[in-house]
Amino acid sequence: MKKVTGLGGVFFKCDNPQGMNEWYAKNLGLATSEYGATFEWRQADDPSKKGSTAWCTFPQDTQYFNPSAKPFMINYRVENLVALVDELKKENVTIIDEISEYEYGKFIHVLDPEGNVIELWEPKDDLDQDKEG
């Protein structure tokens, strides 16, 4: 079973998320919104399949990274989140929440051995691919 298939996103806390987004837009050319930026791409082994990677700023007081006290969180793209969670439970990995499902995919949060929150994401684009060019 494939586990991680790619990087889904990098999320980090900052003192001024809007200012950071503006700085990255002005100085590095990121097409930012109030949440950050999205990088779209096509899969190397099947260019008909699209994907995306998120880059997001969060305020210092965000609760989204809890219970980790770290200023960042990495999101990994995965296949078959339900089966992966079953495997992680067998390995006694700390599962923070239950699988949540949205129009853009399924998510769950786990902790690594050093207390970093990891967001696992089974993207909707891996389930229902847009086959347009």
Question: According to the model, what pLDDT value does residue 10 have?
Answer: 97
Distances (CA, A) of 37 to 23, 24, 32, 48, 84: 12, 10, 5, 22, 28
Q: What is the rounded radius of gyration, in angstroms, for the C-alpha atoms of the chain?
A: 16
Name the residue ranges covered by the structural domains of the chain: 4-127
Q: What is the rounded CA–CA span in Å between residue 60 and residue 38?
A: 21
Q: What is the rounded CA–CA span in Å between residue 58 and residue 12?
A: 6
Q: What is the rounded CA–CA span in Å between residue 83 and residue 12?
A: 28
Peptide bond into 67 cis (omega under 30): yes
Rounded (5°) CA angle 71-74-80: 150
Q: What is the rounded CA–CA span in Å between residue 44 and residue 124?
A: 18
How, if at all, do strands 36-43 and 46-59 pair?
A: antiparallel
pTM of the entire structure? Answer: 0.86
Over its length of 133 residues, how does the chain's per-residue pLDDT go in tens digits?
778 989 999 999 999 999 999 999 999 999 999 889 999 999 888 899 888 999 999 999 999 999 999 999 999 999 999 999 999 999 999 999 999 999 999 999 999 999 999 999 999 865 444 434 3
Question: According to the model, what pLDDT value does residue 45 have?
Answer: 85
Question: According to the model, what pLDDT value does residue 125 have?
Answer: 65
Top-level class of domain 4-127: alpha beta
Q: For the chain, what is the total number of helices (H) and then of strands (E)?
A: 3, 7
